[in-house]
Chain A
């Protein structure tokens, strides 16, 4: 015991000394970097993780090669915790120079002055804003002014497994297919051979209680969740169109049983794995898991647009970068930002996700690719997302909508109309309190 203790003390003293050396050397490097030879360090915050960091690092590397006086320090936090750190840093006025945020956070951050408008920056660096694919600048705009430039994006699409379609002799989804087509196709594909009530193959895997993704269904049915002035849910969230959308969605699960029940309500998209395992013929989701799906031996991948009902609709999910208002070197940050968001950055991105710049998308063949082309094509059918109408989406409508979806999915006997109306009322009450 004494020996363990002694070893312990020695180890600790050693490591404390190491720490002391480390932190001094770290701070020395930093100060030297800033003062010597005018090298500027800019900090970039991002919420990406894992391999998602590689494109960032590559772009940074390319930029630094071209601009030897600038160092970009990437500060990455993966997932939901990103905002916890970002907000803490903002509160302490120690935020990074360039920050990435998701689309639904843009209005709040901009309205609270966290970002500077980019018109100066765009002019100075001769950024031609028409180089982008349709709809990609809008999420970064507030009141007509541009505050953020696109990083990556994804609309919704329907993945389908050609293997399963072929085995069942069903034709692939067409571009202009409807909700009824979807139902029919799914029913043809759902197979329960041994009659135990659990199909071996499901028609379509749906993203469970994902609220923002559900806006596609509402849009396709011709409905809206909120009024244009952002003050009323009643009359919108409880409209017949919304009720129809919820009913259809719930029926896919409970009445027609073509969708597997959610595996994990807390995971983004329901946590199901049927499509991955070749046990579901279709899947409605964004482009994010696509690279994994392409290499999955169970799947021969195809992608179709989401089916239309009253109209064709889709919703865009988007992340962008902007310059923090607390940045001490906005011109330099601007240089990086415009490099990142324009063609040079897009050239790197095209290997990882869909690039935002049209010319890059075209030259890499993605616009005409049978799969990628579908995603890009969807950019022409976007409906505005509800968060753009009110800064209180997160606190009011999102929980209410989540409750609706949870209720109707978990309880086959639920009265959809009543549930929706109640949710709209709850959302309205919450909104009124905040708007007063």
Chain B
């Protein structure tokens, strides 16, 4: 098949269009990625030169109970957090989407918690979850319930962090909002003329057209949540009893507290592979449920 000039032009246009990113990638991202990959095969304490040890770091991982623990912690957290984030964000977006008086105030209110940077907000949360004087337990006490020890309970610490994360729904809310607002109005009009009820409109119109946004939030949520760091670092430092030992926290510790940069890099690359595989799976699933308005088939 002879390459036709139109295709060639398009290919050229494509590579030109992504050149800013591509150049930046080669200069600023590829090098660190490769360097860290190299580091993962070495013993490197950051103070002296790296020493090649082959696959030793990777072998060591299998023996490392903390690594297994951190995988568990991160996986569980992600599995719980992501669905809640998607549903919560969507509900909030639906509630504030209306172009009514006060909507912008509510939007700002819901977005507000995500605007504060890590430390201060997490600290406030830690205080709210304080077993004896925190807001949460005081409220529970009103109902006669003896509140648990939250962040200090090895069985509940992780869930406490999940609870904390709910206040971050504002972020996915904003994205869903953008998605909701770009669904053309005439589709709704046509649907209602055809007699579809609000319920039907939601499920057969809104949701399908929202799938690109859902997909986006899902993929990014998975990628980002696997790399949770700040809340664990500030609130619990991985404890109690390693029940909140997130993988990136463990990586940070290995690199900057134990001087094991090589091992940390190896851990990071394992994390990378896990996220990559999950993302690829999600992408593969696209044809089954994601529907782009700008392309082809209608429903």
Docked pose: A327 CA to B184 CA in angstroms:
64
Q: Determine whether the beta carbon of A90 is less than 8 Å from that of B259.
A: no
Q: Does B274 contact A (CB under 8 A)?
A: no
8 Å CB contact of A109 from B47, B240, B258: B47
When the two chains form the complex, which single residue of A262, A402, A410, A433 contacts B154, counting CB atoms closer than 8 Å?
A: A410
Quick one: which of A225-266 are within 8 Å of B by CB? 261-266
Residues of B within 8 A of A4 (CB): none
Binary contact readout B104-129 vs A (1 if CB under 8 angstroms, 0 otherwise): 00000000000000000000001000
Q: Does residue B257 face the partner (Cβ distance < 8 Å to A)?
A: yes
Q: Assess whether B196 is interfacial by the CB under 8 Å rule.
A: no
Q: A266-B239, A406-B241, A410-B153 are in contact. Are A112 and B258 (CB under 8 A)?
A: no
- Do A410 and B257 touch (CB < 8 A)? no
Q: Which of B35-68 contact A (CB under 8 A)?
A: 45-48, 63
B46 touches which of A87, A209, A263, A407 (Cβ 8 Å): A87
B45 touches A265 (CB 8 A): no
Residue of B234, B235, B240, B257 touching A83 (CB-CB under 8 A)? B257
> Cβ of B236: which chain A residues have Cβ within 8 Å of it?
265-266
Which residues of chain A come closer than 8 Å to B260, judged between CB atoms? 395
Contact between chains at A112 and B47 (CB < 8 Å) = yes
Contact A394 B47 (CB under 8 A): no
Q: Check if B258 sits within 8 Å of A84, measured CB to CB.
A: no
Q: Which of B130, B234, B240, B252 contacts A406 (CB 8 A)?
A: B240
Closest to A263 in B: B130
Point out the residue from B48, B130, B241 that lies within 8 Å of A403, measured CB to CB. B241
Q: A112-B47, A261-B131, A406-B239 are in contact. Are A84 and B154 (CB under 8 A)?
A: no
Residues of A within 8 A of B149 (CB): 410
B225 CB-CB contact with A under 8 Å: no
Min C-beta distance of A87 to chain B, whole Å: 4
Q: Is the CB of B239 within 8 A of A87?
A: no
B241 to chain A minimum Cβ distance, whole angstroms, is 6
Taking CB atoms, residues of chain A closer than 8 Å to B46 are 87-88, 90-91
Contact B126 A407 (CB under 8 A): no
Indicate with 1 or 0, residue by residue over B235-270, a CB within 8 angstroms of chain A CB atoms. Answer: 111011110000000001001111111000000000
Partner of A265, one of B151, B255, B258, B259: B151
Of B48, B63, B152, B235, which contacts A410 at CB under 8 A?
B152
Question: A370 in the interface, Cβ–Cβ < 8 Å?
Answer: no
| Set of chain B residues within 8 Å of A265, measured between Cβ atoms | 151-152, 236-237, 239-240
Q: Does A198 contact B (CB under 8 A)?
A: yes
Nearest opposing residue in chain B for A406, CB measure: B240
- Distance in angstroms from B45 CB to nearest chain A CB is 6
* A112 close to B45 (CB less than 8 A): yes
Q: B152 to chain A: which residues have CB within 8 Å?
A: 261-262, 265, 410
B132 proximity list for chain A (CB < 8 A): 198, 261, 263
Q: A83-B257, A395-B258 are in contact. Are A407 and B47 (CB under 8 A)?
A: no
Please determine whether A402 and B257 come into contact, CB atoms closer than 8 angstroms.
no
Residue A113 CB within 8 A of the other chain:
yes
Q: Is the CB of B258 within 8 A of A87?
A: no
Which residues of the partner chain A approach B48 to less than 8 Å between Cβ atoms? 112-113
Within 8 Å CB of A88, what residues of B? 46
Cα A394 to Cα B255 in complex, Å, equals 12
B257 contacts which of A113, A394, A407 (Cβ < 8 Å)?
A394
Question: How many chain-A residues does the 8 Å CB contact rule pick out?
Answer: 27
Shortest CB–CB separation between residue A166 and chain B, in angstroms? 27
Q: Is A41 an interface residue (CB 8 A)?
A: no
Interface residue? A114 (CB, 8 A): yes
User: From residue B8, how far is it (CB to closest CB) to chain A in Å?
Assistant: 35
Inter-chain contacts of B153 with A (CB < 8 A):
410
Q: How far is the CB of A436 from chain B (nearest CB, A)?
A: 12
- CB pair B47–A266 under 8 Å, yes or no, is no
Interface residues in B163-193 (C-beta closer than 8 Å to A)? none
C-beta contact mask, A173-209 vs B, less than 8 Å → 1, else 0?
Answer: 0000000000000000000000000100000000001
Q: Which of A112, A114, A266, A402 contacts B234 (CB 8 A)?
A: A266
- Asked whether, in the complex, the Cβ of B45 is within 8 Å of the Cβ of A83, the reply is no
Whole-angstrom CA separation of A262 from B236 in the bound complex: 13
Q: Are A87 and B47 in contact (CB under 8 A)?
A: yes
- Contact, CB under 8 Å: A87 / B130: no
The reply to whether the CB of A12 lies closer than 8 angstroms to some CB of chain B is no
CB nearest neighbor in B for A82: B256
Supposing A83-B256, A87-B259, A394-B258 touch, asked if A407 and B241 sit within 8 A by C-beta, the answer is yes
Kindly state the separation between the CA atoms of A433 and B62 in the bound complex, as whole angstroms: 14
Interface centre among A87, A88, A114, A403 (most CB of B within 10 A): A87
Q: What are the residues of chain B within 8 A of A198 when measuring CB–CB?
A: 132
| B231 shortest CB reach to chain A, Å | 11
Question: Could you tell me if B259 and A108 are in contact, using CB atoms closer than 8 angstroms?
Answer: yes
- A45 to B183: give the CA distance in the assembly, Å: 54
The answer to whether A87 touches B234 (Cβ under 8 A) is no
Residues of B close to A263: CB separation below 8 A: 130, 132
Give A406 to B45 CA distance when docked, in angstroms: 29
B252 nearest in chain A by CB position = A84
Q: List 20 A-B contacts (CB under 8 A).
A: A84-B256, A87-B47, A87-B256, A87-B259, A91-B46, A91-B261, A108-B259, A113-B47, A209-B240, A261-B152, A264-B126, A265-B236, A265-B240, A266-B239, A394-B257, A395-B258, A395-B260, A402-B239, A406-B241, A410-B152
Closest 5 CB pairs of A and B: A112-B47, A91-B46, A87-B46, A266-B237, A84-B256
Given contacts A83-B256, A87-B256, A406-B240, 18 further A-B contacts (CB under 8 A): A83-B257, A87-B46, A87-B259, A88-B46, A91-B47, A108-B45, A109-B47, A112-B47, A113-B47, A262-B152, A264-B151, A265-B151, A266-B236, A395-B260, A402-B239, A406-B241, A410-B152, A410-B153
